Copies of this chain bind each other. A is one copy, B any other.
Amino acid sequence: MNTVDIAAVISAAEPEMQVRIFRLLGKNSSAEVFSYLDSDTQETVINSITNVEVHNLVEDMFIDDAVDFLEEVPANVVTRVLAQTSRETREIINRFLSYPEDSAGSIMTVEMAAFQKETSVDNAIAELRKTANDKESIETIYITDSERHLVGVVTLRKLIVSPPDTLLEDIMVNEDQVISVATHDDREAVAQIVRKYDLLSVPVVDTENRLVGIITIDDIIDVIQEENTEDFEKMALLLPSEDDYLKTGVLKLTKNRIVWLLILMISATFTGQIITGFEDKLQMIAGLTACIPMLMDTGGNAGNQVSTLIIRGLALGTVRPRDYLRVLWKEIRVAVLCGIILSVVNFARMAAIRAITGSMTPTPVILVVCISMIFAVIIAKCIGCTLPIIAKLIGLDPALMAGPMITTIVDALTLLIYFGIASLFLQSGILVPA
């Protein structure tokens, strides 16, 4: 069975069985299986094995997996684990735990294949043969000078096709062509670099260009999925949470949701005041109130469509703030087209309802609704493309400017347009109170 599947079986077992199955694993695979367990199971296992077993386990794990594990378990477990760890490993782990969350440093590993540039190809291969099993990735080999400055890279495939007595510095890709990242770079930026250049791993250097670790592509895939999940959550105005939904408690879920629900509910005071200000006229003209939800929803949906496209474009780098005027011009044209189509269909819809139900909605009311619709869609599309770009420019996350936020703003503007046009029709005598 594959280690990932073994880990899944253990995670799904009853607590007392988890440790028993884990102990059946050979020394070689136990560290790898452990790194795939969920953090609750990791805690159960650690609490049930001896100090010597803890020591062996942690020393056998890759540093990045050990750090991931320690970041998730309670402090008393961390203390016990670190106490059973060799001084050298403990120092590395502590350094890693000190890197900011979401930084390149927090997801890198130190188990890379690195050689000094004067090493010969056959010496490098001989060394790799001895140590390959302790390396997380040997597909790319990093070349340093005597002071650990990163000076080049050689792929494993290049290494095995090169003459044995060549020096690594003669076959390496030089420093100026090597893509590297810094320990404090944002992990999302690192993921974009790995994706852009189709890398299997990327070297991490400190401020003096000394090689301190590598980030491998399997961790990058997890970063990409987590960042996407975070964007989905922010767009639905949830506070981001790293826990699986099913494992999150009711109080935590409530906390993650209530903040924005409250803010938007209080913001709706504006729409309430707008309606209150127009209430006497609404009471005079039958049919005007009934169209409020349809107009607001259509505006909100139209704004939501464009804000989603722009937020995604900004995240993937296909739209940049300096494209704003092009975006706005495009959106205005799309909005005019969409608005006219919606408006024509709506006229037919309202006329049909009048015919079927025999209701008294006068034609001027239908006209007010249709004209308001066109303007509402134009305003919604403009707001929908403008707010994410403004957010990006002032350093906020554009994902916050998604559906719910756009809807709240567009609602108020839609009502102002609707009542404004109705007032004009009233003043000019086209619309006559019942």
Contacts and interface: CB of A to CB of B under 8 A. Distances in A.
Interface string A342-368: 100110010001000101000000000
A304 B405 CA distance: 12
A57 to B, nearest CB: 19
A265 interface: yes
B268 A309 contact: no
Contact of A245 (B160, B200, B251, B310): B310
Interface in A223-281: 224-225, 228-229, 231-233, 235-238, 244-246, 250-251, 253-254, 257-258, 260-262, 264-266, 268-269, 271-273, 275-276, 279
Given A286-B279, A296-B296, A403-B404, A308 B272 contact: no
A196 B296 CA distance: 43
A245 B4 contact: no
Nearest to A196: B4
A1 interface: yes
A311 B294 CA distance: 26
Contacts of A195: 218, 221-222, 225
Contact of A359 (B218, B276, B293, B319): B276
A218 B300 CA distance: 37
A197 to B, nearest CB: 5
Interface string A190-213: 000011111010000000000000
Interface residues of A, number: 112
A90 to B, nearest CB: 26
A313 interface: yes
A289 B275 contact: yes
A196 B319 CA distance: 31
A368 B338 CA distance: 37
Contacts of A313: 244-246
A245 B346 contact: no
Q: Kindly report how many copies of this chain are found in the complex they form together.
A: 2
B341 A407 contact: no
A302 interface: yes
A225 B404 CA distance: 24
Contact of A404 (B125, B161, B237, B301): B301
Contacts of A70: none
A52 interface: no
A282 interface: yes
Nearest to A130: B161
A324 to B, nearest CB: 11
Contacts of A87: none
B2 A334 contact: no
A300 B424 CA distance: 32
A297 interface: yes
A327 interface: yes
Nearest to A131: B161
Contacts of A262: 341-342, 345
Given A217-B217, A232-B235, 13 more contacts: A128-B161, A198-B218, A233-B309, A236-B305, A244-B313, A251-B337, A254-B334, A257-B338, A258-B341, A261-B301, A268-B298, A276-B287, A297-B407
